[in-house]
Amino acid sequence: HIGFLLILLTARLCSLSLCFPREYHVVEYEKNWTDAQTYCRHHYKDLATIASQEDVTMLSHALGNCQRHAWIGLYNDINSWRWSLENTSYYNEGETEFRRWKSGEPNDYSRIEDCVKFRQGKWWDDPCSKKLHFILQYCRYSLLLIGV
Ligand SMILES: [Ca+2]
């Protein structure tokens, strides 16, 4: 009976990847947003998603107290902010909607600010062509469950 139940459960899962805990790494090369995204996807996982105040605190510590700016994975896809990491199985409910804009941002200054940087715990939109340090995320442990 137990074996049968397990098959039923996995059959419903289809394919689900779990990432825990989410870990960040500040990359000290300066790249534009697109090149930073390519680098992250090639080497590790993706540009950072920030989904909670805990993530903000963790990143603030990683960047230190200096005035450092760094790209995160948020970008403007025709009037809608999206995360570079789009696979919804990596998010808990509501996490993709988390935002921590600096007051007055996003202001789309000169109408060319479609990428987002992190600085001192807040977010700014900025031109994607600007070269900045960037934050990548990876999973310390990941588990892939594949159903039948
Ligand atoms: Ca701005």
Dist. CA 103 → ligand 1 center (Å): 10
pLDDT for the residue numbered 2: 52
What's the CA-to-centroid distance between 30 and ligand 1, angstroms?
A: 19
Task: Please tell me the distance between residue 141's alpha carbon and the centre of ligand 1 in angstroms.
Answer: 35
- Residues less than 5 Å from ion ligand 1, measured at CB: 107, 109, 113, 124-125
Does residue 76 carry a pLDDT above 60?
yes
Q: How far is the CA of 11 from the centre of ligand 1 (A)?
A: 46
CATH of the domain at 113: 3.10.100.10
What is the reported pLDDT for 61?
A: 85
Point out the least confidently predicted range of 33-37, 75-79, 92-96, 128-132: 92-96
What domain range is 39 assigned to?
2-146
Mean pLDDT of the chain: 83
How confident is residue 21, by pLDDT bands cut at 50, 70 and 90? low
Whole-number pLDDT of residue 66: 64
Q: What confidence category does residue 140 fall into, taking pLDDT thresholds of 50, 70 and 90?
A: low
pLDDT score of 12 more than 80: no
Q: Which residues contact 56 (CB under 8 A, 6 or more apart)?
A: 50, 100, 121
Q: How many structural domains compose the chain?
A: 1
- Residue 98, pLDDT > 90, answer yes
User: How many Å lie between the centroid of ligand 1 and the Cα of residue 144?
Assistant: 38
Q: Compute the distance from residue 80 Cα to the ligand 1 centre, in Å.
A: 15
Cα(88) to ligand 1 centroid in Å equals 27
Better-scored residue on pLDDT, 70 or 139: 70
Answer with the residue of higher pLDDT: 24 or 15: 24
CA of 81 from ligand 1 middle (Å) equals: 14
pTM, two decimal places: 0.81
